[in-house]
Structure 1
């Protein structure tokens, strides 16, 4: 099965992201707006028990993390993805690093905390959409106190397997 680790932002941020994703993200119906901490990876039913224990142990070493969204950005020329930029406080970067070093598998890209709002666009469409969105004033502040281990269903959608509270002890 395919799994991933994410943070879901507050409803207010999700509603804003979805107002854009509805038009620009073909994955809109497959997963709610999220910040990916660990890219999709494969694990068996037996292996996932160990993964759950590792995530729980990591979550116990972190306090809730601040999420400050300050602008709309793009990954062009690497790919035609448009996103909400999440300022990366040190604790968010550390959480990402711990999760990625705890599990095997290469990370395809450097960690840029973001919430995708548009993807799989042609160059012209990306240029038009990003050109109209990049000057949009965006300002959200949120605190995330949970991580979510997701798994992918046969229809391509993602659902929560388990939730972990960030609770430094």
Structure 2
């Protein structure tokens, strides 16, 4: 079964992201607006048990923190993706490093980890450039508290749902 790890922003941030995702993100119906902490991977029961143990330990050692989104950015030309970018990505990057250690260590990731909330993906280049040109001039001031990590699994219908959540600073 496919499992992934994410954090979900507060409702106001989700609502703003979803106002764009509904038209520009084909994954809109499968998962709420989120920041991926660890990409999806197929796990057996042993790996799942080790992941839960790792997430319990990690969550217990970290305190909740606030993040701010201050602009729209893109991964173009690597991928035709638009996203809300963080003013300071380091707290989420540290969370990613803590989660992706021990049994959840990823060998040779395909990209540099960039925490973000996707608002558009798989867009034709003209549409992406047009929308990006408009949105990069828009003032973005969104903030959210990150106080838990979610271990998710993919359902048979393609949606993602929580397997277990881990509150930060609960140790």
TM-score scaled by length of structure 1: 0.94
* 1:81 equivalenced with 2:81 (yes/no): yes
**Matched-pair contact (CA < 8 Å) for 1:87–1:113:** no
- Residue 37 of structure 2: aligned partner: 37
Residue-pair matches, total: 169
- Residue 126 of structure 1: aligned partner: 128
Q: Secondary structure at the match of 1:126?
A: helix
* 1:94 equivalenced with 2:94 (yes/no): yes
In structure 2, relative to structure 1, the CA distance for the partners of 1:78 and 1:15 (3 Å cut) is same
Q: What are the ranges of 5 or more consecutive residues in structure 1 without an aligned counterpart?
A: none
Match of 1:116 among 107, 115, 118: 118
Q: C-alpha distance in 2, partners of 1:26/1:90? A: 28
Q: Secondary structure at the match of 2:97?
A: helix
**Matched-pair contact (CA < 8 Å) for 1:74–1:82:** yes
**Matched-pair contact (CA < 8 Å) for 1:63–1:166:** yes
TM-score scaled by length of structure 2: 0.93
Structure 1 residue runs of 4 or more that deviate by more than 2 Å after TM superposition: 87-92, 104-108
* 1:14 equivalenced with 2:14 (yes/no): yes
**Matched-pair contact (CA < 8 Å) for 2:66–2:144:** yes
* 1:162 equivalenced with 2:168 (yes/no): no
Q: What are the ranges of 5 or more consecutive residues in structure 2 without an aligned counterpart?
A: none
In structure 2, relative to structure 1, the CA distance for the partners of 1:63 and 1:70 (3 Å cut) is same
